[in-house]
Chain A
């Protein structure tokens, strides 16, 4: 195979197998040369499980003789609308009928399905799904369309240029001939694969930019959608794990007698993460775990409390850290300043707490290992599992199912919960499929949190109270340290995810310095929806409000004057404040706040309106403007703005994970508070028209709400709240 980017897989298939069971046209756009075919089936997400003997192509697109079009998504659907987005890109260039398109999750195969922004790895995150697939998926659709046209031209003996394709029908006006895709699929598969396809101009789009219905809605509304927890396999057992009470503790010994005496319990096995209890069903396994006695060696366990951590960070913030951005002479400007303003902002640890707790199904067999998972880190997990089992990564077959939320949690660089399940299956030695389910308490307490961060900000003001220097010192654990991403994401000692959103401060100032301390603690940490921006946007956009006030300027006017040269920031800011009616007066106890922030190359501004009454913050209305390039599906964008903001609002008002003597204090949704429907404000979403390539929408709304609300609370009460979750005193 040469370095073709577009490969006709159905022909390969035809050449290698004399019988094409369901045949049709299959196209893949290969990101790299020499990628080998894998015979594993596609993921099961949203589809009927593939059965042995079925035609199992391995590409982005399959057209069946039955006129069905299957788009194979290399990205996980975890709520963000990616299946609908992938289908839209393919169907647009294919000129398919939306009704005939369905979507399937791709198998783990980096050669074919890598994230084009992630080197050689397949995975979903960083709001990259649409952005990295934008050209790739459209090319897959356009190439298939061209082959269908060529096949029709050959059959009808007419010129390809005279053929039209619309809504799944290929037609030739002069002769009146028509054919549906399915009728042409076999013949199209015999056509040469076009290497240079012409993509549509923006004004030719029929699906992109329209509110196409989500592909995953119907099965999520009637209860038939399959998540990992719903997988049922013959002879499957269910496992729960007793995790250590504190990070760093180890099993010293355990007594399985009590657990084994419980009805239904089959096995009790030790694994690196703790002790697993295996039963025929979840409830029996959990009862078994309740009866299990484990003695933990806590001699090297984490023992700090959140207050101590904060104090330690505060002390660290007094000394210089590793510089992440240095522009001008910040120290000199601060020394010369007429006045220096200083503030400390902090945020707590946070659990991701998706509605589906972590779970994973594993079956080890002679050919390797098969996994069913809401799979967000396909290649990383494949390699991690292969390492544990001593097999090749390609022997780890992963079925990418729907994830019941994730918010980053299922993309664990250490494959933590996946490996727990693999270790259990390995320990059983019997080859029976194992479904491991974490209880909500496990999900809260077994780790991998958004780190606690502290920011110390200083600004120098001149005689006119205008800022001349910005110094921001950030203290918090590195997410990337000790992971496979370390070499890529830690540059000159600075974890880029710790400083993103601050290091790229858009405000035009002569002197800017950002530095970082990355203390090492035993608390396992991980990216959380919008990653570094979860804390940097809060610190930056609140401190900017403080500077505006010091300068005697309106917060919007102040931002405008320092955002010259940043038209996309200004675009969303202006749109949001205009729609919100920024200058309209509000009653006593009420206030309006604004924040604008770029993350993952998408720009979001939010205006929040709040009422503060008897110490309670009521967020009543949020106006959101977003610039995410060419909007693929305005309805999905609107949903992600609403929901992404809501996810951030939970952390603004309520969520907090704390430690006492090394133990996590929260355990379930009664004490780890989330946003409920009565706290959800009215939300308006406005999308900036654009001709720029599309960027992500899953994350960028999340970090903007905390500063918008905090600034609104200040406007309402005169209280500057600098710690999340916000508490009015």
Chain B
């Protein structure tokens, strides 16, 4: 049995400790907002927070997060999280939407460290999150809007 704290709830799961956190979240807990894109930490679609830090859940064995706090898009309720989601809505960032959970999780983690990131800091922090729809112009703008900077 593995004890897992996800979005503030602790669960006991009978799963292989080597299973990537992504698949545990999606298929054993039913939190499907976190997405599978590449399986090798190259696209960022699977980004979640572990103790507040952005982590690629596709390449993180579930055993590595025992005793830690996992936050997924469904559990994002910090003021920064809400501000980022509101900016994403106001600036109509999404297109297909598949990568956006990961984009938002990375953006929230960035703003937790850096209240008012520059363009270069945004690019550096968001560089691991691919968007094939290329919504990048609006991602940049939405991060600035969420951090109360002129867009």
Contacts and interface: CB of A to CB of B under 8 A. Distances in A.
B89 A217 contact: yes
A51 interface: no
Contact of A79 (B45, B133, B138): B133
Interface in A399-444: 402-407, 437, 439-440
**Which of A225, A353, A675 has the most chain B CB within a 10 Å cutoff?**
A225
A86 to B, nearest CB: 16
Contacts of B131: 355, 677
A405 B126 contact: no
Interface in B25-56: 26-28, 30-40, 42-43, 45
B69 to A, nearest CB: 18
A675 B99 CA distance: 14
A263 B33 CA distance: 26
A220 B85 contact: no
Given A223-B73, A669-B43, A642 B138 contact: yes
B115 interface: no
Contacts of A662: none
Given A355-B132, A642-B134, A647-B134, A217 B94 contact: yes
A113 to B, nearest CB: 21
Contacts of A238: 27
Given A216-B97, A440-B38, A674 B92 contact: no
Interface of A: 78-81, 211, 213-214, 216-218, 220-227, 229-230, 232, 238, 263, 281-283, 353-357, 402-407, 437, 439-440, 635-636, 639, 642-647, 649-650, 668-670, 674-678, 680, 682-683
B140 to A, nearest CB: 7
A149 B143 CA distance: 46
Nearest to A264: B16
Contacts of B37: 355-357, 440, 669
Classify the interface of chain B: helix, strand, loop or mixed: loop
The 4 residue pairs across chains A and B that have the minimum distance between CB atoms: A223-B33, A646-B134, A404-B98, A220-B97
Contacts of A676: 127, 130, 136
Contacts of A643: 95, 133-135
Contacts of B104: 221
A80 B72 CA distance: 26
Contacts of B130: 355, 669, 674, 676
Contacts of A642: 134-135, 137-138
Given A440-B39, A642-B138, A674-B130, A225 B97 contact: yes
Given A221-B88, A643-B133, 13 more contacts: A216-B94, A223-B31, A223-B34, A230-B26, A263-B16, A282-B36, A402-B97, A404-B97, A405-B132, A639-B92, A674-B130, A675-B134, A676-B130
Contact of A283 (B20, B94, B127, B140): B20
A402 B95 CA distance: 11
A619 to B, nearest CB: 12
Interface string B75-100: 01000000001001100111111111
A220 B40 contact: no
Contacts of A217: 88-89, 92, 94
A108 to B, nearest CB: 21
Contacts, number: 174
Contacts of B135: 639, 642-643
Contacts of A283: 16, 19-20, 23
A404 B42 CA distance: 17
Contacts of B136: 646, 675-677, 680
Interface of B: 16, 19-20, 23, 26-28, 30-40, 42-43, 45, 72-74, 76, 85, 88-89, 92-101, 104, 122-124, 126-127, 129-140
A357 B20 CA distance: 18
A548 to B, nearest CB: 29
Nearest to A404: B98
A283 B38 CA distance: 13
**Which of B23, B32, B134 has the most chain A CB within a 10 Å cutoff?**
B134
Contact of B92 (A402, A635, A649): A635
Nearest to B43: A669
B98 A354 contact: yes
A680 B38 contact: no
B73 to A, nearest CB: 4
B134 A649 contact: yes
A636 to B, nearest CB: 8
Nearest to A675: B134
A229 B35 contact: yes
A14 B26 CA distance: 42
Contacts of A216: 94, 97
B109 to A, nearest CB: 15
A646 B132 CA distance: 8
B85 A680 contact: no
B134 to A, nearest CB: 2
7 contacts: A217-B94, A221-B89, A223-B73, A224-B33, A404-B96, A669-B40, A677-B122
A221 B36 contact: no
B57 to A, nearest CB: 12
B30 A674 contact: no
Contacts of A214: 92, 94
A597 to B, nearest CB: 18
A393 B130 CA distance: 38
Contacts of B133: 79, 355, 405, 643, 646-647
A650 B134 contact: yes
**Which of A223, A644, A649 has the most chain B CB within a 10 Å cutoff?**
A223
Given A282-B23, A643-B134, A643-B135, A232 B32 contact: yes
